[in-house]
């Protein structure tokens, strides 16, 4: 039960956001996962900072902000202004990843790097000791409700081996198609944090679902 559970805001009911945020506040969730999409890096647009400024007022959970956008470094000040706990940027979106990681840390946030399903874990060897966390996408980013990519379990094992061999303290987070069944296998493979969208917000009892995920 030491692993983290991060319900994904993307799956919340935006017509009654206050109710959903209160539900998350009452649950055992550790973080609130926020996906920001630009319609360029991924084929969808989610929500921007004006909306998130209201979300911040509704939640008591630390923010795990995931930028699925090009040039994410431009928005470090805005993410910091939200009071984010972690700032996640994509390996594929950052030409100068080491510099961006440094800038996130200098802004007072915990830097995290995300890899898409087709990106090899081996590419993180030069940055693994610089990040607080690695987010492994278990679906192709851009939309919620996608089917879990089975190879992710192998990637989590590879990433755990890389972390152990380098002495890194990085956490492993997984996002996409996470439910009780896939979540259990991911944790067994070495994951430390699970992002869950539909599994939580579409459940008949979302608070209990968070409890079950936390108890895996």
Catalytic option among 35, 38, 64, 192:
35
Q: Which residues, in sequence order, are CB contacts of 157 under 8 Å at separation 6+?
A: 189, 190
Marked catalytic residue, from 20, 30, 175, 192: 175
Q: Does residue 126 carry a catalytic annotation?
A: no
Q: What are the structure tokens assigned to 209, written together?
A: 């679902």
CB within 8 A of 11, min separation 6: which ones?
144, 145, 197, 198, 200, 201, 202
Does the annotation count 175 as an active-site position? yes
- For tokens 């911040």, the residue is 56
Token output for 24: 């998350």
Rounded Cα gap, residues 28 and 2, in angstroms: 12
Give catalytic residue positions: 35, 175
């Amino acid at each position: 039960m030491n692993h983290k559970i991060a319900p994904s805001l993307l799956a919340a009911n935006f017509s009654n956001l206050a109710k959903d945020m209160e539900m998350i506040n009452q649950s055992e969730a550790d973080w609130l996962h926020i996906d920001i999409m630009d319609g360029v890096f991924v084929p969808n647009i989610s929500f921007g900072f004006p909306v998130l400024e209201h979300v911040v007022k509704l939640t008591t959970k630390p923010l795990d902000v995931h930028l699925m956008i090009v040039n994410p470094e431009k928005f470090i000040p805005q993410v910091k202004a939200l009071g984010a706990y972690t700032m996640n940027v994509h390996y594929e979106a950052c030409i100068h990843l080491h510099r961006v990681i440094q800038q996130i840390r200098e802004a007072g946030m915990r830097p995290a790097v995300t890899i898409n399903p087709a990106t090899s874990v081996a590419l993180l060897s030069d940055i693994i000791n610089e990040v607080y966390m690695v987010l492994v996408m278990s679906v192709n980013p851009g939309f919620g409700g996608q089917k879990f990519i089975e190879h992710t379990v192998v990637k989590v094992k590879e990433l755990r081996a890389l972390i152990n061999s380098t002495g890194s303290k990085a956490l492993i987070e997984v996002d996409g198609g996470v439910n009780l069944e896939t979540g259990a296998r991911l944790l067994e493979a070495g994951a430390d944090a699970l992002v869950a969208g539909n599994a939580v917000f579409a459940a008949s009892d979302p608070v209990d679902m968070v409890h079950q995920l936390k108890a895996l």
